[in-house]
Amino acid sequence: MAQLALEKVNKSFGNVHVIHDVDLQINDGEFVVFVGPSGCGKSTLLRLIAGLEKLSSGSISIADRPVMDLPPSKRGIAMVFQSYALYPHMTVFNNMAFSLDLQGVSKAEIHQRVEAAAKILQMEHLLDRRPAALSGGQRQRVAIGRAIVRNPDVFLFDEPLSNLDAALRHDTRVEIAKLHTQLGATTIYVTHDQVEAMTLADKIVVLKDGEVMQVGSPMELFNYPANEFVAGFLGSPKMNFFEGVLKAGAGGNSGEFEGQGLHASGVRLVGTNQPNGCTARLGIRPQHLILDANGPLKGTATLVERLGTETVIELVNEAGTAFRCATPETLDVVVGDQVTFSFNPQSAHVFC
């Protein structure tokens, strides 16, 4: 049975409808990441689960218990805020003990639980400090510790890493992943960073304009995007799209594409409710372009980025469509060069 279930969840702020009919099942122990561009409603959805916003319609249940009418503290959740939201006038210990103290837990147990949480996060030496005397990463850990102490059914993280610098973000990301393995608790994590989503998640929920675009494991989403948005959103550099028409295969799982001098058949077809001959877009990831002197795709290089591990070339084809190629080889290409590519239709997608 699902640990957390959302059914037909809707939310409006006045006339603005921000969450549309979201259905979601999250299993016990799963690490779920809500990802999407800013304004897609992912934080609002998290706040609805937390109980910080009231549902307009629909239902939410946590651990088989409807929670719509429960206050946040009774829902069995703990939340880590983007801004940490530490109580500045309390020591780290008191920050972590606050919720237990409010519940009337005995002093001895508070000590034991806070110290256990501090040990997990390796911050026993920080317990007597005030938040002002901590570094950004330490504050982040206190915020996580405050959540652990409550021993919740579901952990909620609202963009917890966006205030950290790049190096620390990576370390903390690894730490959160380890922590999840260690605690095994159900976790919902909101981010706009697809790298965090890909690396952390058991299950990714891609949101756009308050609607769920696709739910699935990271590689499932990467290899079989359910629509053009998901295809374009996940993966770096972004997937290349070429305009054309769908020649054959409507209604099936694979189709034939033609356009901009490209022709491919047996391509994975997404969006099957269009007839043959409709306008379609061919999507190929930059990593899947193959250097081939006789290939159908010709482009003029406009920018070459050498990242060490891979080389990213930005090109423009004859039809004026910009596209990218990423390859681990160190290519001897300079701006203005003509490069030709071929591709494997197996790794391409057609969207219509």
Partner 1 sequence: MTRTLNHVILALIVFIWVLPFVALVTTSLRSEVASKTSGFWTAFTPTELGHRFSTHDRGEIEPFTTLKGNIFERLNQERDSFEIEGDIKSILFKGRVPDPDKEGKTKLIRQLIYAGEVMDVRGGDFVFEPSGDFTWTFPEATAPKPKNLDTFINQNPIFGTDAYVEVLFENKNVTNALISSFIVTIPATIIPITIAAFAAYAFAWMSFPGRDWLFVLVVSLMVVPTQLAFLPILQGFSGIASWATSLNAWMTDCEATKTCQVASKSFASLWVTHTAFGLPLAIYLLRNYIVGLPKELLESARIDGASHLQIFTRLIIPLSVPALASFSIFQFLWVWNDLIVALYIGSAEAADLVFPIRLQKQLGTFKDQLHLLNASAVISIIIPVIVFLSMQRYFIRGLLAGSVK
Nearest to 156, CA basis, from 257, 286, 67, 249: 67
Of 151 and 321, which has the nearer Cβ to partner 1? 151
Candidates 4, 6, 18, 131; binder of partner 1 (CB under 8 A) is 131
Nearest to 40, CA basis, from 234, 203, 262, 192: 192
Residues 145-164 close enough to bind partner 1 by CB under 8 A: 146, 150, 163
Candidates 1, 108, 132, 334; binder of partner 1 (CB under 8 A) is 132
**Binding of residue 79 to partner 1 (CB under 8 A):** yes
As a whole number of angstroms, the distance between CA 158 and CA 47 comes to 9
Rounded to 5 degrees, φ, ψ at 290 are -115, 130
Of 77 and 234, which has the nearer Cβ to partner 1? 77
248 strand-pairing partners: 256
Nearest to 25, CA basis, from 60, 72, 56, 67: 60
Sign of CA dihedral 285, 287, 291, 292: negative
Candidates 39, 66, 136, 251; binder of partner 1 (CB under 8 A) is 136
Candidates 57, 59, 83, 330; binder of partner 1 (CB under 8 A) is 83
Give the binding range for partner 1 (CB under 8 A) out of 45-53, 166-174, 278-286, 331-339.
Answer: 45-53
Strands lying side by side in the sheet with 57-62: 16-26, 4-13, 57-62, 65-66
Of 58 and 72, which has the nearer Cβ to partner 1? 72
Candidates 71, 252, 308, 320; binder of partner 1 (CB under 8 A) is 71
Binding site for partner 1 (CB under 8 A): 50-52, 71-74, 77-79, 81-89, 98-99, 102-103, 130-134, 136, 139, 146, 150, 163
